[in-house]
């Protein structure tokens, strides 16, 4: 069993790619919590406050979905790359790597669908642009 010196950089990059969206999501949740108190002081009615908070929660949830799609799309590529660094058979790696790499582009395909699904204003704008 030979050890590959590239396993540490691959694992470091993988950990960075996994942790960045998680940390950013928690930062968004903290910002929403802080802003809830600021909005409560600035807005006169509860109805306005609830509308603003509902919109911000929706944006945070949308970003969470996009982050999850990114993690899911990058996971196969990271796993296959880490298998290459171990004593995994090279023929299997050569078969799996193109599929894993193609799968890593999935977030680019799915993100517009998420945005269209979750944002009515964007759907209306696309319909207006296409109908011209």
- Express each pLDDT in 29-57 by its tens digit: 777 777 766 666 666 677 777 787 788 88
Burial 37-49 (b: 16+ CB within 10 A, else e): eebeeeeeeeeeb
Mean pLDDT in residue range 104-115: 84
The band of 64, judged by pLDDT with boundaries at 50, 70 and 90, is confident
In a domain, 113, yes or no: yes
Confidence (pLDDT) at 1: 43
Q: Is 63 a domain residue? A: yes
Q: Is residue 2 part of a domain?
A: no
Residues 6 or more apart whose CB falls under 8 angstroms from that of 64 comprise: 25
Are 122 and 116 in contact by the 8 Å Cβ rule? The answer is yes
Range of the domain at 118: 7-131
Instruction: Give this prediction's pTM.
Output: 0.59
| 45, part of any domain | yes
pLDDT (average), residues 91-114: 83
In a domain, 22, yes or no: yes
Number of domains in the chain: 1
With respect to residue 1, please indicate whether it lies within any of the assigned structural domains: no
How many Å apart are CA 100 and CA 77, to the nearest integer? 5
């Amino acid at each position: 069993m030979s050890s590959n010196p590239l396993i540490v950089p691959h694992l470091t990059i993988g950990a960075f790619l996994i942790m960045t969206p998680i940390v950013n999501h928690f930062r968004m949740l903290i910002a929403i919590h802080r802003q809830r108190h600021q909005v409560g002081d600035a807005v006169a009615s509860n109805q306005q406050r609830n509308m603003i908070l509902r919109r911000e929660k929706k944006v945070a949830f949308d970003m969470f979905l996009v982050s999850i799609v990114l993690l899911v799309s990058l996971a196969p590529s990271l796993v296959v790359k880490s298998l290459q660094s171990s004593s995994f058979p090279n023929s299997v790696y050569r078969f799996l790597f193109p599929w894993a790499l193609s799968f890593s582009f999935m977030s680019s395909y799915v993100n517009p669908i998420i945005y269209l699904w979750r944002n009515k204003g964007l759907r209306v704008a696309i319909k207006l642009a296409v109908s011209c």
